Amino acid sequence: MNIVHTSIEGCFILEPKIINDGRGYFYESYNKQTFKQVTGLDVDFVQDNQSFSSKGVLRGLHYQIGDAAQAKLVRVIQGEVLDVAVDLRADSATFGKYVSAILSADNKRQMFVPKGFAHGFLVLSDVAEFAYKCDNYYNREQERGIRYNDPALGIDWGFAAEAVIVSEKDQLLPFFFEAEY
């Protein structure tokens, strides 16, 4: 497994070792020991989630606050997405900045999103299956979000605004400077 550091400390891309042969391929999508060895982090993932979406669906930007904050390890099983993580750590030099990466079934890359980040993704392919591990359980009371198209964040989703499909809930999320972190 190879680690690719992003411009924001703590948020990185993992590239697995893929074994190809005449039958297809095999790779280990997660191994706690390898993850710790490569990243130096001892993360205890407790919940796996998966979603299926069509082209243009944007989910996010979501996070949880307080003792319900979550780190996530995200990947795409089918299709392709633009994955985005926004730094919400008030004491960070990159507070309010974001990183993005193309994650796909073809490249098998994964993004680690640490606690203190908002996360979202936009489906670029006809359909996408998105899977992620969380180190904390879902908590409705501590769930928060930021509007995906907030000009203060300036996220380049690379997609026509009128073609983006966003849930009503996500359309009503607060802007960055109004949100609770």
Show which residues are catalytic: 62, 132
Contact 17, 27 (CB under 8 A): yes
Distinct helix (H) and strand (E) counts, the chain = 2, 14
Between the alpha carbon of residue 166 and those of residues 59, 99, 116, the distances in Å are 7, 20, 23
Q: Give the three-state DSSP class for 154.
A: coil
Q: Which of 180, 163, 157 is nearest to 66 (CA)?
A: 180
Integer Cα distance of 130 and 107 in angstroms:
14
Phi, psi of 9 (to 5 degrees): -60, 135
